[in-house]
Amino acid sequence: MISRGTITIWGILTIFIIRSLPSSAYAIYSVAKSLEMFGVLLGGGFIQQAILKLASEGNGLREKQLANSGILMAFCFSFFSAFLLITGGGVIGSFYQPLDLSGIPVLLACIVVTGTLSGLPRLLLLTVHRTKDVMISDLAQFAVKSGIVVFLIVSNTLQTAHQIFTAMIISNIVSFLISSWFARDIFSPSAGISLKRIWEVMSFAAIFMGASLANFIYTRTDILMLGKIAPDNVAAYSASRSLSGMILMVITAANMILLPHISRLWNQGRKNEIKPKILSTILLSEMIILPVVILYVFFPKQLLDFIYSGKYTESWNVLLVLGALSLVRPFGSFFATASSAIGKPQYSFYSVIISAIVNVGLNIFLIPRYGGFGASIATAAAVILGSTWMVITSNRYMNRHMV
C-alpha cells in the first residue's frame, strides 16, 4: 500500500500539473500517456506478467530459467516497441493533428525501454515477497519524478508534456539502479536460458498480451478517440478521469501481492483458501475507497471546482460516472488476477475482448454525440459487463476444482 500509495500522491500532483499546463499541452499529455501505455504493453509489459506468475511458483532451477528467459524476451520486445514508436512518429503526429506531438514519440520510446529495465528486477523481488525492497525502489522513483515536476511547477517553468516525460525517464533509471542492487542475489544468470523455457514463457505471455491489449482498448480508447474526434474535450475529460483514477491504486496494490500469493496457494493444493482470500480483499478495498466514491458521486461539481479552480467543472458528469464505477472495478480485477494465478489467464482475455468490443462500439456511437460524457458511459458499460463475466466464469472454474 505504501509503495502503490505513490500513485495516489502522483495523482494529487497531477492536479497541480493540470492547473499549471495550458489546456492544449495537457491534451497532448493525455493522448501521449495513452500511447505510452500501449508502447509499454507491447514493449514487454505482457511478458512481465508471465514472469511474475511463473517465477513465483517456486525457487528451483525451472523458475530461475523461466525468469531469465522472460527477462531476455522483455528486453527484445522493449527495443522493438521503441523502434516502432520512433519510426512511426510522423504517422502518429499527422493522425492527431491539430495536437502538436513533435518530439513525443522519441520520449515515449525512451520511457518504454527504461520502464522495462526498471520493472524487471522489481518483478524478481516480488516473486520472493521482498516487498520492502520494492517499496524503497518505488519511493525513490516517485521522489525523483515528483521532485523534478514540483521544481518545474514552483519555478513556473512547466509548460509542455515533454518536461514530464523527461522526468519519468530519469526516475526509471534511478529505480532500475536501486532495484537491481536489491535483486543482485536473486538474479541467476548461471541458471541459463533454453528454448523450452522461452516457449513456456511466451505461451503464457501470449494470453496475457491478448488480455492486456484488449484491456488497453477498452480503458484507453476513450482518450485516443476523443483526441481524434473531439480534441476540445480531451483536457476536461482527462482531468475528471485522473481524479477518479486516484483511488485505483488500492486495487493495484492488492493485485501486486494477490497474484503470486494465490499462485502458491493453488500449486500447494490449498485451494479452499483462495475464494475467501479474494472476497476479503474485495471487502477491504471497497471499505477503503467508499468515502472517496461518495464525494465523486454526490459532490462532483464542488470537487472539480475546488480542485481545478473552476477550470474543468463542466466535466462533472464524467467524474460522477467514473467515480461510481470504482466500486465495480475490484470485483473484475481481483477475480481476473485469481484466474491468471490458477492457470486460467484466458478467462481475462475473453472477458476483456467482450468488454473491448462493447466499449469501442459505444465510443463510436456516443463520443460524436456526447463527447466526454459519452466516453464515460461506454467505459462504465464495458467494465460492468466484463466484471460480471469474469466473476461468474472464474467462480465456476474454482468451484469445480475445489478439493
pLDDT given for residue 260 in this prediction: 73
pTM of this prediction exceeds 0.75 = no
Q: What is the mean pLDDT of the chain?
A: 83
- Closest by CA to 380, choosing from 329, 331, 316, 339, is 329
Q: In sequence order, which residues have a C-beta less than 8 Å from that of residue 3 and are 6 or more positions away?
A: 131, 134, 135, 138, 139, 253, 256
Q: Of 386, 395, 316, 304, nearest to 351 (Cα)?
A: 386
Q: Among 146, 137, 142, which Cα is nearest to 178's?
A: 137
Which residue would you say has higher pLDDT here, 290 or 193? 290
Top mean-pLDDT range of 168-172, 202-206, 276-280, 307-311: 168-172
Q: Which pLDDT band, with edges at 50, 70 and 90, does 37 fall under?
A: confident
H helices present in 41-103, as ranges: 46-55, 61-87, 89-95
Between these two residues, 173 and 347, which has the higher pLDDT value?
173
Asked if residue 377 has pLDDT above 80, the reply is yes
Residue 155's pLDDT band (cuts 50, 70, 90): very high
**What would the grid cell of residue 111 be?**
520511457
Q: In one letter, which amino acid is 227? A: G
pLDDT of residue 46: 73
Q: What's the pLDDT tens digit per position in 308-333?
A: 877 788 889 999 999 999 898 888 88
The pLDDT score that the predictor gives to residue 340 is 77
Q: Does 356 score more than 70 pLDDT?
A: yes
